[in-house]
Structure 1
Amino acid sequence: MKKIEGKEVKWGVLGVGDVCEKKSAPAMQKVKGSQLIAVMRRNEAKAQDYAERHGVSTWYGDADALIQDPEVNAIYIATPPNAHLELTKKAAAAGKPVYVEKPMARDYQECKEMIRVCQAAEVPLFVAYYRRTLPNFLKVKSLIETGEIGKVRYVNITINQPKHPDMKEDIAANWRIDPEVAGGGYFFDLGSHQLDYLDFLFGPIAEVNAIAGNQAGEYPAEDIVLANFRFESGVLGSGNWCFTTGESSKKDEIKIIGTSGEISFPCFWGTWVTLRKDGEKEQEFTFDMPENIQYFLIQSIVEELLGKENASPSTGETAARTNWVMEEMTKNYYKK
């Protein structure tokens, strides 16, 4: 795969919306060997506003113009998923490495095509599953690898969330619950992080049995998914994702059960890790997060683009597996 020539990754961002305010793009200005030099949004006035507030020198209202900017040598696609494939094709054709938001695409076929075009152009493809680099999630991985809970038997995911927790406008304006844009609903938005992280811990999921439905009938996407699954490594798993519960049932927990203990931790609403071992006192570990939550992943991508082999743990190949799993878990609903 091609590396960046020179000593600096010069990023151009397509789609500077909410995720770029704090989570991701500002880190590109902080990581050593990295600069954010251009941003784009279809509304050019909003792109200019972002650029002026964040100290970015160049802005565009057209994606092609940013991709062809000779000063930009890496592309970050921060749009909704329906644009990921098209923009990846254009960036790859321009010979520029691609970093794309999660979920990687609307479906597994789009993911495979993104991988194909990047391989053909010999450009790296990375995906924003940044939990693979955060200290609390790395602690869980370390506890498992050092045998703190013995041999892992199974893992369980539970997400209970009230309806529309992030709504600041009408339902019709929320692309996260429009399958034509997002591929699915909140499950694709949130569950993708959890499933990708389990792939990081235990390897690929080989078998899925699941049912998805829409119980509240407020939008076209699924609002509940129940699943059982098996990893190639032999670990078993189950998951319950419900996005129409009451506040009193709100829950975010991943629990990993082993032959001599268990580990539990939240994926979204906390940064602690709890370890329970047979015959020992419970331990709780807490962690501080970087100001820009994607900092460590972006740092790993920059290191790889500047020559360090396999520095980033989140690639197109790993991320595509998560799309396959989500598609399997919802295929009864979408009739795929």
Structure 2
Amino acid sequence: MKNFSDSEVRWGILGVGNVCEVKSAPAMNHIPNCKLVAVMRRNAAKAQDYASRHGVGKWYSDAQALIDDPEVNAIYIATPPDAHLELTRMAAAAGKPVYVEKPMARNHAECLEMIDICEKANVPLFVAYYRRALPHFVKIKELMGQGAIGAVRTVHINMRQIVEPEIITKLENNWRVIPEIAGGGYFYDLASHQLDLLDFFFGKITHTSGFCGNQAKAYEVEDIVVGSFVFEDGVFGTGNWCFSSSQSAEIDEVVIDGDKGQIRFATFGKGEFTLIQDGKEPQLCQFELPKHIQQPLIQSIVDELLGDGLCPSTGISGARANWVMGELIKVRVSSPTAEV
């Protein structure tokens, strides 16, 4: 990594949309030796409005102008995935570290290109898989490392959601179901977090296969994915994602089975999990989540840039989630037309 000689990380953000309202950007002003100094949106009025509401001194409607700002020494790319590759190229060319939203890109090939660009420019590349730094997930990893549920055998993801009415009425503005922008549908948006979290727990997935389809026909991209995978440490896993379920069947659950117990949690729920150990009563473990949910991960990025730690979510790890998702949706199975 190029020597980060500054004693303060001064962020410029490309694309201050919803994710920057509470989840990420405000955290930058709550971390020592770190601040948000400039924001950008193509819509100048929206960029100015964000800067005004959040007390940011500078705003731009041109990405290159923000990147070239000498006060900005680190770039956060918070746009939809279709812009990640090109904006990473521009930031790396300016020699500035890159923090990019998830999923890292539209496909694995773009992820690899982003990694190569940053390596050649000698700048670090981080990805916003912030669950790697949240306290309850860090604790789960710690417990498994201590043998709390024995040798881990399997992990199972089960996710079912309904088709929200606004998905249909505002379809043309919903980039999450436009593969040219997002890479895939809600599977890419949500499963990327889950698969990356399991990578954090068990290492990379080495073998995977799956099927996808479009059952509800609410939009063109896949709305159901099923698959199986094997991790490098020998843990076997399965996933079942359905985005056209009934409301009564909605679920967000990950179950990790060991030979001496089990851990259950919701990926997108509260900061809690249930620990079940053989011969003991189930234990609900609860943790307080930060108001700005990305703050612990951004803290780790600042620590790494200032030479005082390492960030657990890099371009290399982030690319692996894209590879797995791409493999899981390789085979698309046609479904009969179904009404939503």
Task: Give the TM-score taking structure 1 as reference length.
Answer: 0.97
Shift of 1:165: 7.2
Counterpart for residue 100 of structure 1? 100
Residue 133 of structure 1 aligns with which residue?
133
Counterpart check, 1:33 vs 2:17: no
For 1:307, the equivalent position in structure 2 comes to 307
**Does 1:320 find its partner at 2:290?**
no
Shift in Å, 1:136: 1.0
Instruction: State the alpha-carbon separation in 2 of the partners of residues 166 and 150 from structure 1.
Output: 45
Map 1:149-228 onto structure 2 (within 5 A).
149-164=149-164, 167=167, 170-228=170-228
| SS in structure 1 of the partner of residue 50 of structure 2 | helix
**1:42 and 2:42 matched:** yes
How does the TM-score come out when normalised to structure 2?
0.96
Secondary structure (helix, strand or coil) at the match of 1:288 reads coil
Map 1:238-249; keep pairs closer than 5 Å.
238-249=238-249
Equivalent residues of 1:209, 1:329 under 8 A apart: yes
What amino acid is the match of 1:299? Q
Alpha-carbon contact 1:81-1:103 (below 8 Å) kept? yes
**Aligned residue pairs: how many?**
333
Cα displacement (A) at 1:209: 1.5
* Segments of 4+ moved more than 2 angstroms: 164-169
Instruction: Give unpaired runs (5+ residues) of structure 1.
Output: none
Q: Tell me the CA shift for residue 121 of structure 1.
A: 0.4
Contact 1:127 1:316 in 2 (8 A): yes
The structural deviation recorded for 1:169 is 5.8
Cα deviation per residue 1:205-259 (whole Å; 9 max; x = unaligned)?
Answer: 0011200111011112110000111011100000000000011001000000000
Instruction: Spell out, residue by residue over 1:113-156, the C-alpha distance to the aligned partner (whole angstroms, 9 max, x if none).
Output: 00000000000000000000001111111111110110000000
Query: Take 1:166 and 1:104, find their aligned partners in 2: how far apart are those partners?
Result: 26
Residues 317 and 251 of structure 1: CA distance in aligned 2, closer, same or farther (over 3 Å)? same
- Aligned-residue CA RMSD in angstroms? 1.3
Residues of 1 paired with 2:322 and 2:165: CA distance?
Answer: 24
- How far apart are the structure 1 equivalents of 2:328 and 2:31? 37
Residue 168 of structure 2 contacts residue 218 of structure 2 at CA under 8 Å; is this kept in 1?
A: no
Alpha-carbon deviations, 1:21-50, whole Å to 9, x = none? Answer: 000000011111101000000001100000
For 1:269 and 1:76, locate their aligned partners in 2 and report how far apart those are by CA, in whole Å. 25
The one-letter amino acid paired with 2:42 is R
Partner of 2:298: 298
Of 106-115 and 300-309, deviating more is 300-309
Report what 2:16 is aligned to: 16
Contact 1:80–1:182 (CA under 8 A) maintained in structure 2: yes
SS in 2 for 1:307: coil
Q: How many angstroms apart in 2 are the aligned matches of 1:31 and 1:270?
A: 23
Deviations 1:61-120 (A, max 9, x none): 000100111110000000000000000000000000000000000000000000000000
Measure the CA separation in 2 of the matches of 1:285 and 1:212: 35
Segment drifting more, 98-107 vs 220-229 = 220-229
Q: 1:3 & 1:224 partners in 2: Cα distance?
A: 45
1:87 aligns with 2:80: no
Q: Distance in 2 between matches of 1:48 and 1:326?
A: 36
